[in-house]
Structure 1
Amino acid sequence: MPECTLNYFIRSNSSRGYASFFQSNFSRLRTVVRLDGYPSVAVADIVGNICADALEKGFHAQLIHNCLDNSLEGVIIPERSAGVINFPLYDEEEYCIAAILNDDNLNLTFAGLEAARRHFAAALEIHDRWEKIYISNMDFDAANKLAANTIEKVVGGNTLPKQGEQIHRFFGAATIDGSFDYIDGLTSHLAKRYFIKGRPGTGKSTFLRKIADYASAAGFETEVYHCAFDPNSLDMIVLRELSLCVFDSTSPHEYFPSRPSDEIIDIYKAAVVDKTDEKYRTEIAAIMTDYKSEIAKATKQLTRAKKYYDEVQRGILSKISAKALGNAEKKIHNKIFEDG
């Protein structure tokens, strides 16, 4: 995508259930067009056309992807303070019509998603065992010192004369095709990227939270990207007003410096007892095997859910005329670009 587009997710099928940052991204907009249960093929056309028109008019566009299959499900045009978002029928919003529909394929979709989340939850319990190894071998004073030094390096004495704000999102998702992320696109035009290296339990999320809170208190708009697997954890912060980001560059989103300005911050090296990896190699290997097994089972269930939801969508599409859909798209387009 061009420089004037961003791609991200606002929802996740996580180890803690269905997580959504809809409010964080859409409550700040003046105009919100909400679609309920539109088939993904129709949403892709609507969103794609709005994005193309926005770019042609010289605006920016933020493309929002579906956490199940990475299809397009929404778009935000910041200069218009406007956005469009589709809520699939399996969305777990209160009072959703899907909860009272008696549709076998939709019920099987819900069942697949719930089974996937159970496997993700089991994987989180295994991950907690992994974290305990490193927590018991952490020098927390050294970790806190590294965090303070990084805050000074990243933000320092810079301030802006306005109220800071945090916007919460996901840069990736556990999709039917496995883990996927948009880190490269979200950070490609930043002047400075800090790659955090560490291990589970070494405080990477706490490290990022401290920087995010400091930056927003200093008046900066802070993009806070949560872990799609565990939304309680942070994986990246972006400060576009400072043209920089700091992110957890470990599996399953492991990146390495590719530009002269890229810099590694190694928490393992700075704050973990030397040779901890080697000491617990056998135990860690067994944990990793169990963890990957649960993740694979979860992915299989997501694929099952997608299969049944595709059937739901085919049924809806068979009842929609191309003319009606075209008229709806025109109204949406006018709402985004002409109202206000």
Structure 2
Amino acid sequence: MALERHIYPGNNTTEGFYSYYNYILGQREANRIICIKGGPGVGKSTFMRKIGETYLEKGEDVDFMHCSSDNNSLDGVVLKNRRIALIDATSPHVVDYKCKSLYWTSKYINRRETSRRRYIIDTVRRSKNSIYYIRYTK
């Protein structure tokens, strides 16, 4: 039976952000580290989740790495037996130097819809950045 784990490898604390990301799957032990980039809402988490679910159905162990600031968002998926990691490489994640492959989701953006909602997207992004700054820089 496949093992499905849901993990929060990073966390915002009163001491600042604490991370276990460097201990998930090392570069030397990994067969492949795939970095996924793209703007907000383009499907990075959905893409990783579907890959993870597909391998679970095949009977393989999968670790789902959840984002500490958004439970519905994934920061990564690890296929332990295959030693493959898919990780969100967009800001604030600084992982490009670890990537063995790069996948851009931006080519799948509905540009008309994104343009129409640009003001909302920018407002939410600025608000989130302000809240993070206030909460975690004191």
TM range (shorter): 0.7 to 0.9
Residues 47-99 of structure 1: CA deviation (Å, up to 9, x unaligned): xxxxxxxxxxxxxxxxxxxxxxxxxxxxxxxxxxxxxxxxxxxxxxxxxxxxx
Residues 232-276 of structure 1: CA deviation (Å, up to 9, x unaligned): 2222111121011111112222321446xx1011101x2014699
Question: Which structure dedicates a bigger proportion of its chain to helix?
Answer: 1
Mapping of residues 164-203 of structure 1, within 5 Å: 164-188=2-26, 189-203=29-43
1:256 maps to a residue whose letter is D
Return the TM-score normalized by structure 2. 0.80
Aligned residue number for residue 132 of structure 2: 295
Instruction: Count the aligned residue pairs.
Output: 134
Aligned equivalents of 1:275 and 1:187: distance in 2? 38
Uncovered stretches (5+) of structure 2, i.e. residues with no partner: none
What RMSD in Å do the two structures reach over aligned CA positions? 2.7
Larger radius of gyration: 1
Q: Report the secondary structure of 1:199's partner residue.
A: coil
Residues 191-236 of structure 1: CA deviation (Å, up to 9, x unaligned): 2001010111111111111111111111111111111111122221
Aligned residue number for residue 230 of structure 1: 70
Aligned equivalents of 2:127 and 2:2: distance in 1? 42
Aligned equivalents of 1:285 and 1:232: distance in 2? 20
Uncovered stretches (5+) of structure 1, i.e. residues with no partner: 1-162, 304-340
Q: Report the secondary structure of 2:71's partner residue.
A: coil
Aligned residue number for residue 67 of structure 1: none
Larger RCO (CA within 8 A; separation ≥ 6): 2
Aligned residue number for residue 81 of structure 1: none
- Would the aligned equivalents of 1:181 and 1:253 in 2 still touch at CA under 8 Å? no
Aligned equivalents of 2:10 and 2:66: distance in 1? 9
Question: Which structure dedicates a bigger proportion of its chain to strand?
Answer: 2
Structure 1 pair 180/253, CA: closer, same or farther in 2 (3 Å)? farther
Q: Report the secondary structure of 2:50's partner residue.
A: helix
* Residue identity (%): 26
Return the TM-score normalized by structure 1. 0.35
Aligned residue number for residue 210 of structure 1: 50
1:183 maps to a residue whose letter is Y
